Amino acid sequence: MKFTMTGSQWVGLGVLLSLLIFAVLGMMFSPFSISQQDLNAVLDSPSAVHWLGTDHFGRSMLTRMAHAVGLSFALGVLCVVTSSLLGTALGVWAVWGGKKVDHILGVMVNILLALPGLVVVLLFAAIVPGSFWILYLAISLVQWVEYFRVVRAITQNVIHSPARQSSQMMGFGHWYQFKRHIWPAIVPSVFTLAAFGGANAILTMASLGFVYVGIQPPLAELGLMTVELFPFYSDAPWLLAQPLVVIALMVFGFHLLAGKRV
Amino acid sequence: MSVLLKLTNVAVFVGDTCLLEPISLELKQGQPLTILGQTGSGKSLLAQAIMGLLPDTLSFQGDIEVFGKALTLEQRQALWGRDLVMLPQEPWHALDPLMKGINQVAEVYQHVQGKSQNDAQASAQQDLLDVGLADSAHKRPGQLSGGMAQRLAISAATAGGAHVILADEPTKGLDVSRRDGIVRLLQSRSIEGSLLTITHDVAIARQLGGSLLVMKQGRLVEQGDALDVLTNPQNHYTRELIAAEPKSWPDVSVALANKTTETVLVAENLAIERGGRTLFENVSFSINKGEVVGVVGDSGCGKSSLGDALLGLLPVSAGLVTRSNHTAKPYQWLKLYQDPPSAFTSSVSLGTLLKDLVDLHNIAQERIVPLMTRLNLPESILQRTCLDVSGGELQRFAILRALLLDPVFLFADEPTSRLDPITAKDVTNLLVELARETGCAVLMVSHDPDLVRKTCDTVITL
């Protein structure tokens, strides 16, 4: 299986990697902590000390942005890994496990699909406000359905293909059939879904932060920072712009990485 | 006799590579012209060049005269439908799957000929009556058989009034019994104009008569009157093509002397149902070791289902399949597929697939090379994937994989129907020879009664 990336996919990967490097370096080397206040220097414009300025409590924006980007990436990657593994495994199992398994999984998926994704996440977030892990759980729970449906549809064709039938008749086991027949068929779609899923997870977390049910202060989170800095949009527009631009860049990066649509 | 179509030194290139060497031909009124050759001989390129349908990546040289005038590409395209028409390969793929048959024909009358809606419907009705589709006029293409869909496609294509018809493999994928009808229909449609047919099937060339061009790898090798060329071929390649027709194969089955009586498989009163329809009932037979059993019948009669049922891939609705050989492992009951590329995964090279098999069953390495030589498989194909290998090579590779497992029973589901005649002959003969040598029983399904009669010991007709 050869992975050839187009130019725009490289650009997407480049954008994401630079943001990640920014986050890692910012978290490691910044002399300020995310909650360290300096009320003598509120809403400062970028300077030699505070490269990205300070917010309304005089906290270093660079430090806060680095932590927020790091948090978003962590959630995005965790959600993608969990939901793609779960969705792929169940999708293949639904086809392979026979009618009964397919039926039960189908009912489960239909229930999840009937609920709007953001509402499910909101529901979970309301149970344990401010918990990163509950957000992760809720977003993964919503996202695996996509993988399940796509993988199941593709696997259904592969299972009935002469190629797989022939391998089975020659005595090859389930793992071999998955590795040689199913995986090569589903990997492009799973990869595309994963890229979109990463962007969606980040957007969902930011939306929750924006309505104050996601990550709680004083932690730095992109949606939360947006809403906190919102009152100062005329005094310090460069501050409000920072989380917004970064969210847009992350989503842009993931969508470029996805390449063509499924 | 007026010349309808005249080609002077027409050649097709991709970049600097010549795909079709300069060729000149004349299509005269009432005298059909047939181009005969294997896949990859550039036949279809020629038809596309005449129509002006060549893909942009290909360039084209030479002059094409239609009705005595040299026309440019745009001028030729203006003739589409009204004067010049091409039936694409497998015309039923060209039909609208969601539209009733009669409407597809009426549409042509209405929009190409400019008739009123009622007149168009009436003309379409008459057309379908002429081709024997009156009862199926309101069915959608998916509900028609291959032959019926083909007749519908021909009606729709010729409804525009064109009399110069280019038919590219018009009978691909059809049973022998349906083939003759299609050829007759094409002949009657082109009676006022002319017919240019592209085919790999010698029988069609013989049936159409007229003049004949034989092509090989983009080059014209022989031309002349069809009957002359076919009865007295001058070129080596033409002779090979004619000899590859199952009808003229030597009888292999009589060559078998050392028949054993050890049965491999017994089927009693088999019946198979699919989609609520009984395909066949009360079929009983037994297959002996090293025996080649042929199954013939029209498409849709359950030939392939029978084989699948014997292998346990499909349930039988009645009857019993007994495997008499109890020592054989499950993986020694195998199947050869109709469409070789679909029977392999393209994710890894053929060499990797072979290695997988060798590792799984601990097959001795030294068995591979002699068998590959025997099957005429070059070492180099092991580095390629199934997409970069020709159909014939791939089918022989499939036979190689099967034989390495020492099969006791092999179900060959039309193993050569997607292959060129010359390749098909080689593959069939090899399969039968090797099966007899190794004592493997073969159930060979084919839509060609001649092929089965020439190669099989016993024939089951469904």
Q: Which CATH number fits domain A7-258: 1.10.3720.10, 3.20.20.70, 3.40.50.300, 1.20.1260.10?
A: 1.10.3720.10
* A14 compared with B257, residue with greater pLDDT: A14
Nearest CB among B331, B337, B343 relative to A171 is that of B331
CB of A172 less than 8 A from some CB of B: yes
**Alpha-carbon distance values, B402 to A75, A166, B100, B232 (Å):** 49, 10, 45, 40
- Tell me if chain B has a CB within 8 Å of the CB of A170: yes
Looking at mean pLDDT, say which of A162-176, B13-27, B126-140, B271-285 comes out highest: A162-176
- Most confident by average pLDDT, A42-51, A74-83, A252-261: A74-83
Give the one of B337, B348, B361 whose C-beta lies nearest to A166's C-beta. B337
Return the sign of the alpha-carbon dihedral for residues A240, A244, A245, A250: positive
Q: What is the mean pLDDT of residues A102-113?
A: 91
**Segment B310-336, tens digit of pLDDT:** 888 888 888 888 888 778 888 888 898
Mean pLDDT calculated for residue range B240-259 = 71
pLDDT of residue A261: 47
Do residue A165 and residue B331 have CB atoms under 8 angstroms apart?
Answer: no
Q: CA of A160 to nearest chain B CA: how many angstroms apart?
A: 11
Q: What's residue B423's pLDDT?
A: 82
User: What confidence score (pLDDT) does residue B259 get?
Assistant: 59
Say if residue A162's pLDDT is above 50.
Answer: yes
Q: What is the pLDDT of residue A1?
A: 41
Is any Cβ of chain B less than 8 angstroms from the Cβ of A175? no
**Which amino acid, B95?**
L
The answer to whether A157 faces chain B, any CB pair under 8 Å, is no
Output DSSP code: residue B228.
H
Range with the lowest mean pLDDT among A49-53, A173-177, B285-289?
Answer: A49-53
Tell me the HSE value of B240 on the side-chain side, using a 13 A CA sphere. 17
Which chain B residue is nearest to residue A176, measuring alpha carbons? B356
Closest CA to B442 of B403, B405, B412, B421: B412
Model confidence at B151, pLDDT cuts 50, 70, 90, reads confident
Contact A180 B334 (CB under 8 A): no
- Which pLDDT score, from 0 to 100, does residue A262 have? 41
The answer, yes or no, to whether residue A57 has pLDDT greater than 90, is no
CATH architecture of the domain with range B3-243: 3-Layer(aba) Sandwich (3.40)
Report the 10 Å Cβ neighbour count for A175.
Answer: 8
* B253-461 fold: Rossmann fold (3.40.50)
pLDDT by residue (tens digit) across B65-123?
A: 888 888 888 888 888 888 888 887 766 678 888 888 899 999 989 988 888 999 999 99
Give the strands of the sheet with B263-274, arranged side by side.
B277-288, B263-274, B318-323
Give residue B52's region: left, alpha or beta (phi > 0; psi -120 to 50): left
Is there a shared CATH topology between the B3-243 domain and the B253-461 domain?
A: yes
The answer to whether the Cβ–Cβ distance between A162 and B405 falls below 8 Å is: no
Using one digit for the tens of pLDDT, what is the confidence trace for B269-279? 888 887 777 88
CB contact under 8 A, B401 and A1: no
Per DSSP, the residues of B365-432 read GGGHHHHHHHTT--GGGGGS-GGGS-HHHHHHHHHHHHHHT--SEEEEESTTTTS-HHHHHHHHHHHH
Per-residue pLDDT tens for B16-44? Answer: 888 888 888 888 888 889 988 877 677 77
pLDDT at position B256: 53
Confidence of residue A42 (pLDDT cuts 50, 70, 90): confident
The pLDDT assigned to A144 comes to 92
What pLDDT was estimated at residue A58?
Answer: 80
Say whether pLDDT at B258 is over 60.
no
Across the interface, do B405 and A170 touch by the CB < 8 Å criterion?
yes
Nearest Cβ partner for A161 among B331, B342, B361: B342
For chain B, the domains span 3-243, 253-461
Mean pLDDT throughout A56-69?
87
Tell me the residues of B at the A interface, defined by beta carbons under 8 Å apart. 311, 313, 329-331, 333-335, 337, 339, 342-348, 353, 356-357, 360-361, 398, 401, 405
pLDDT bracket for residue A190 (50, 70, 90): very high
CA distance A115 to chain B (A): 34
Judged by CB atoms closer than 8 Å, whether chains meet at A169 and B343 is answered as: no
